[in-house]
Amino acid sequence: MKKIFIIIMIISGSLIAETLDFEQAVNIALENNLSIKIAKNGLQITKNLVNPGVLLPSVSINGNSSYTNTNANIGADTERHLNSTSISTNYTLFSGFYVLNSYKKLKMQYNLSELEIRYQVESIISALAQTYYSLANAEEQLDLAKESLRISGDRLRRVIEKEKLGRVNKIERLSAEVDYNRDSISVEKMKLNYENFMRNLNVILNRNVEDKYEIEKNVEMLTLPGYDELKTNAFDKNADFQATKYGIDLAEMDIKLAKSRYMPSLNMSGSYGMNKTNFAFDPGIGDPDKSWSVGLSLNFSLFDGFQRKIQKQNAKILLNNQKLTLEQSRLNLEKELASSFTTYINSKKTLSMEKMNLEANQFNFDRTKELYELGQLTSVQFREAQLNLMRVKNNISSGKYSVKLNEINLMKLAGILLD
């Protein structure tokens, strides 16, 4: 008996699904999501390119060893073994600030990549919220469908008992059966909807698609700032908008790089070497001849087929395009923020009104049920009261998740989702 009890406990424990609240889901997504991993790898590559070594001189070391044996027609054989080694350095003293500006551009591209990562993380969280709360809503819809099925089942059983006693006709029973079957179909549809959202959540979390969770259905609503403050935050913090602004900085840097090609370049080079010639095979370099050199070279391009001029013109055009893109982004962001804020406020008002309707519909259903069981109301009137109650409950369930999703979208637009 004790063994059976233990087995039952083990099986029961294995059937208990993991409880997953939204914060836990976010942490899992940020850790496991493949898109974020790919983006982080790209960011690391960009970071590696921001190497201050481009501003330093290059240093190289060279070595050479050659052996020759000459057998002339007259005289003795001649052997020579030449060994040499040298170290050299090259450094660009001036290039119209091309090297320095190129390094600055790399740093700017890294900062832009950070903004793009942030935007991607915010997008993943937003998509996760959509799926997570859709799953929570689907679970509540399934529970309500089961509740409606239970009500229809109770009604069908009562009608069957009354039919046996001759108190109702066959039409009444058939009507009850039709409503019961409709609610049964609704339950199956809600089950399928729930399972699909569960799989979608597992894909975002990069988990097995058949994993199951208990979803936290209590939604905590935040108190968001007013529209003016949200708008200020949006223009200061919105990742996509800030990335567009960075595009202007990069375009201006491209103009500077184009202008630098009009300037001369001044390079310095230096070397120090040792060499030794031995008249026999000898790889050594003892007591070598030593030499050193230092040189400066100046280069200035007089004509390059108008390539510099074209590069400068194109850079200016790209800068102008980037400014136009920024203005377009500003208008789109302001429009999206205004629309989202209005939607958010309306969804809160709608949810409040639906909650007020719930009490009236619950009272109406309870009263209609009493009168129907007493035979004072028809099955059509009872069914209508039942559907009205379920509709209000469904609206409340969908409404609270709609408010939460609108809240998250507003925070994303305002750039405060990760704060």
H or E element, residue 279: none
Type of residue at 305: G
For the segment 129-144, the average pLDDT, to the nearest whole number, is 96
Structure tokens at 16: 């208990």
H or E element, residue 303: none
Of the candidates 199, 156, 210, the one whose C-alpha atom is nearest the C-alpha of residue 372 is: 156
Mean pLDDT taken over the chain:
88
Share of the chain above pLDDT 70, in %: 91
Phi-psi region of 75 (alpha: psi -120 to 50; beta: other; left: phi over 0): left
142, 186 Cβ separation under 8 angstroms:
no
Cα–Cα distance measured from residue 140 to residue 145, given in angstroms and rounded to the nearest whole number: 9
> Helices in 69-213 by DSSP H: which ranges?
98-164, 170-204
Q: Please write the tens of the pLDDT for every residue from 340-387.
A: 999 999 999 999 999 999 999 999 999 999 999 888 888 899 999 999
Q: Please write the tens of the pLDDT for every residue from 78-136.
A: 677 788 889 999 999 888 888 899 999 999 999 999 998 999 999 999 999 999 999 99
Neighbours of 322 (CB within 10 A): 20
Q: Please write the tens of the pLDDT for every residue from 58-84.
A: 999 988 877 777 665 555 556 777 888
* Most distant CA atoms of the chain, gap in Å: 141
- Say which residue the tokens 């949810």 belong to: 351
Q: Please write the tens of the pLDDT for every residue from 170-189.
A: 888 999 999 999 999 999 99
- Check residue 3 and give its pLDDT: 42
Is residue 11 over pLDDT 80?
A: no
- Check residue 287 and give its pLDDT: 67
- Check residue 34 and give its pLDDT: 82
- Check residue 76 and give its pLDDT: 54
Handedness of CA 282, 284, 286, 292 (dihedral sign): positive
DSSP 189-244: HHHHHHHHHHHHHHHHTTS-TT--EEEP-------PPPHHHHHHHHHHH-HHHHHH
Cα–Cα distance measured from residue 373 to residue 379, given in angstroms and rounded to the nearest whole number: 10
Cα–Cα distance measured from residue 383 to residue 175, given in angstroms and rounded to the nearest whole number: 10
All structural domains of the chain, each given as residue ranges with its CATH number in brackets, are 21-58+78-265+275-413 (1.20.1600.10)
**18 burial via Cβ count (<10 Å: 0-12, 13-18, 19+):** exposed
Of the candidates 80, 83, 82, 70, the one whose C-alpha atom is nearest the C-alpha of residue 280 is: 80
Q: What angle do CA 310, 316, 322 make, to 5 degrees?
A: 135
Name the pairing type of β-strands 58-70 and 213-215.
Answer: unpaired
